[in-house]
Amino acid sequence: MSFSKQKILLAVTGGIAAYKALELTRLLKKQGTDVRIIMTKSATAFVQPLSFQALSGHLVHCELLDTEAEHAMGHIELARWADVFVIAPATANTLAKCAHGLADDLLSTVYLATTCPVYVAPAMNHVMWNHPATQANLKILQNNGVNLIAPELGEQACGEVGFGRMAEPETICQRLISDLAMPKILKKLNVVITAGATREPLDPVRYLTNRSSGKMGYALVVAAQQVGANVTLISGMTYIQPPQNCHFIQVETAEQMHAVVFETIKNCDIFIGAAAVADYRPVQMRDEKIKKNADQITLILQKNPDILADVAALDSPPFTVGFAAETNDLAKYARDKLVRKKLNMIAANWVGREEGGFERDENALDVFWQDGQKTLAMTEKSELAKQLIALIAERFYTPH
């Protein structure tokens, strides 16, 4: 399969695994891609830029302020040129800089300026890889839509054995080819996704909310973008950075989310309600903080609008997908919600168990539609999102 139209920007950082990036460059060129190279200063201590220049056929970029670039803005030109940005090897230092938005060299500046898919192939000592700071930085990057090509188990340059070896060039190349070959099944379709938890204020200090982290909804945004969709993300409260290239709208309450959904639903082809929307809100928000005087207090709550049901009830509704988090009788409650709210599809998951659910990086789904169902096994939410988007696309294009 030829990928001659694909432009890959490969960034090489300072580690002994830098030599593997030479083979990766060769393999990518063999696939017909156009490869350009960024090297950090420390990377040049391991491999000479001339080697990458010979393999790629292009000058190697090392300096942030490139006087030969148009307007001396080489980082912007490279960021706009690339279809895919790959950092291999990615050191712990590079992961940290990208995670926290530092921009003190060409690589980190290009990372902040790019809008194309980003992949990292980490390489480091196994103790560094397992350090909580490295894992926390990795989670930030993944929540921001960065794709991980995980390191492998094996003997390292220091003589120790553990996870931290950069994935082999063949593995990285195959992953990139597979993702680049992914059919754009939702190309030019408009997808609206809600995610995260809404919260309902009781007073200026307190509010009612739930345990949703927003991870699944945000992963769905990235997965939908990867197959060509134009995505609007309407997000409740999360601690996750919004994925790149989506139209992002932040809300707090269920009523706000309802209003924004109906402001953006025009021309929507697919609506995915992954947000954990509060069912009830206080009838009245107190102007002042509620004092801890009485042993008991009474809160009067009223029902919030049902976003999913209202979207499905439109005269010409989009393909509407709901979510159901259940502690018991999952299939029964999910199917009831599917029929009662007139949804096209519903994805249900267990909560309150040891695996999956709220605030976890993994999940499993049982997906139901009018005349069928499919179980998606426990896996990382980023991978689960790809499977669900593929299933949604399959059902979207199936005549009804």
7-180 has which fold?
Answer: Rossmann fold (3.40.50)
Tokens of 210: 């739930």
| pLDDT score recorded for residue 74 | 62
Segment (H or E) for 172: helix 169-180
Whole-angstrom CA distances from 397 to 201, 392, 393 are 41, 9, 6
Which pLDDT band holds residue 133 (cuts at 50, 70, 90)?
Answer: very high
| pLDDT score recorded for residue 118 | 93
Q: Are 36 and 10 in contact (CB under 8 A)?
A: yes
What are the tens digits of pLDDT across the range 274-294?
999 999 999 988 888 988 888
Distance CA 11, CA 84 (A): 11
| pLDDT score recorded for residue 297 | 87
Distance CA 33, CA 56 (A): 10
Distance CA 79, CA 195 (A): 29
Q: Is 62 a catalytic residue?
A: no
Does 190-396 match 7-180 at the fold level? Answer: yes
Q: Are 64 and 77 in contact (CB under 8 A)?
A: no
Residue 390 CB contacts under 8 Å (≥ 6 apart), including other chains: 185, 227
Catalytic residue among 62, 98, 116, 158: 158
The highest-level CATH class for domain 190-396 is alpha beta
Strand segments (E) across the chain: 7-12, 34-39, 84-90, 118-122, 147-148, 152-155, 161-165, 190-195, 200-201, 207-208, 230-235, 247-250, 270-273, 280-282, 301-303, 319-326, 345-350, 362-369, 372-380
| pLDDT score recorded for residue 251 | 97
Q: Tell me the average pLDDT across 311-339.
A: 94
Tokens of 190: 């408009």
Residue 364 CB contacts under 8 Å (≥ 6 apart), including other chains: 349, 350, 355, 356, 375, 376, 377, 378, 379, 384
Return the minimum-mean-pLDDT range out of 231-235, 329-333, 352-356: 352-356
What are the tens digits of pLDDT across the range 161-190?
788 899 999 999 998 988 887 788 898 899
Kindly list the domain boundaries of the chain, sorted by start residue.
Answer: 7-180, 190-396
Q: Is a pLDDT exceeding 90 seen at residue 66?
A: no
Which residue stretches of 307-370 are H helix?
307-312, 330-340
Residue 103 CB contacts under 8 Å (≥ 6 apart), including other chains: 97, 109, 111, 112
Q: Is a pLDDT exceeding 80 seen at residue 73?
A: no
